[in-house]
Amino acid sequence: MADFAVLTLFPRLFDSFLAESLLAKAIAKGLTAVEIIDVRDYCFDRHRTADDRPYGGGPGMVIMAEPLALALEALLARGGPKPLVVHLTPSGRTLNQELVRSLAKQEKIALVCGRYEGIDQRFVDSFVDLEISVGDYVLNGGEVPAMAIIEATARLLPGFMGHPGSTLDESHGYGLLEHPLYTRPQVWRGQAVPDILLSGNHAQISAFRLSEAVAKTRLVRPELLDNPNLVDQVAQALDGKRPEKPPKAAKTPPGPKKAPTPDRPGRLAATTAQSDGDVMSHKEINGKAYPVDEEGFLLDHGLWDEDWVKRVSDEEEIEEMTEDHYAVLESLREYHVEHGVPPRVKDMTKVTGFKMKYIYEMFPSGPGKGACKMAGLPKPEGCV
């Protein structure tokens, strides 16, 4: 069980935070405890002064070391488990779910809330075990970050959430952003809930949600896919069952293959079927002839390879092929293998998981003449 002590100059900021919702219930049930310590109680001049001007000059005020030290030493003097002393500061380690899980294993945490320009470094050097930032931005003080840490940590404690799986099946719970959510009514302003969610087939629903989570993560937070433990986390989230195509990111984009891989059927699979239309010419790349139509679309899809991708990327004036480029090509190729035709332009967002605006940013000629052409597919419906 993680208990908290908060050292702050503004204790009343925590009143409503601790009195509402699940955190209040958890405190009432004894799952956690939060003590608010007013640092000004350890300031002994008439005005209860806790700050002073910085040595060396400069704007603002700095919280003095002595009131903070006296407040923390009074806490330590009561005995009990020694707390992990955390200083909330923009210059600290960025808070993420992995760090939250680590904090949840602590018996007690003392959160020191900075204010103004910061706190005297000598207090940090003498008492602080860990400095944490909640992001690359600046707040007025450490109180809001302290609330974020308390809530994020406490909700991992057994019995805090109503459903024990709730903390896994959400953003960052297993390394991905959370899949989109839907509730009643089934149709809202002409927009229907996806049919798969109404099917009752839990295996298919889990696979659908995983696919949506991967697509959203790739679009909004692609750096999360670089996590080497992602596959194991996803497998754990699916009750130990690995998805058929677990998300896997590499530092170097995989690129297209010259032939389908036996152990991963369907992934960037080549075909020998030709698209509708006659061969108008051949495009020679590195001594190899590629039959193309009058608009330059590859007609023998089985010839698709890295050389073709490079040539089209040069024509598109793409400076560097990224993982997102290859993710689009992979999605288009898989759709073609399953359906025998490339996806319609208007369906590209659904198929690839990327917004149309972003696809145009990646492929200047658009999803048809850019992406489908690079993927070695026929000209799609809706491409002009």
3-154, what's its fold? Alpha/beta knot (3.40.1280)
| Distance separating alpha carbons of residues 150 and 109, to the nearest angstrom | 9
Q: What is the pLDDT, as a whole number, of residue 237? A: 56
CATH superfamily of this structure's domain 168-249:
tRNA(m1g37)methyltransferase, domain 2 (1.10.1270.20)
pLDDT score at 172? 54
- Phi and psi dihedrals of 298, rounded to 5? -70, 130
Copy the structure tokens of residue 33. 């405890």
pTM of the model: 0.57
Residues of the chain with pLDDT under 50: 163-169, 171, 240-277
The per-residue pLDDT for range 65-86, each reduced to its tens digit, is: 999 999 999 999 999 999 999 9
- Cα distance between residue 344 and residue 335, in whole Å: 11
Domain map (residue ranges) of the chain? 3-154, 168-249, 281-374
- Cα dihedral value 356, 361, 363, 367, nearest 10: 10
Q: Which CATH number fits domain 281-374: 3.40.50.720, 2.60.120.10, 1.10.10.370, 1.10.645.10?
A: 1.10.10.370
DSSP 108-175: EEEEEE-BTT-B-HHHHHHH-SEEEESSSS--SBSHHHHHHHHHHHHTTSTTSSSSTTTTTSSTTTSS
Q: Do domains 3-154 and 168-249 have the same CATH topology?
A: no
Residue 278: the pLDDT is 52
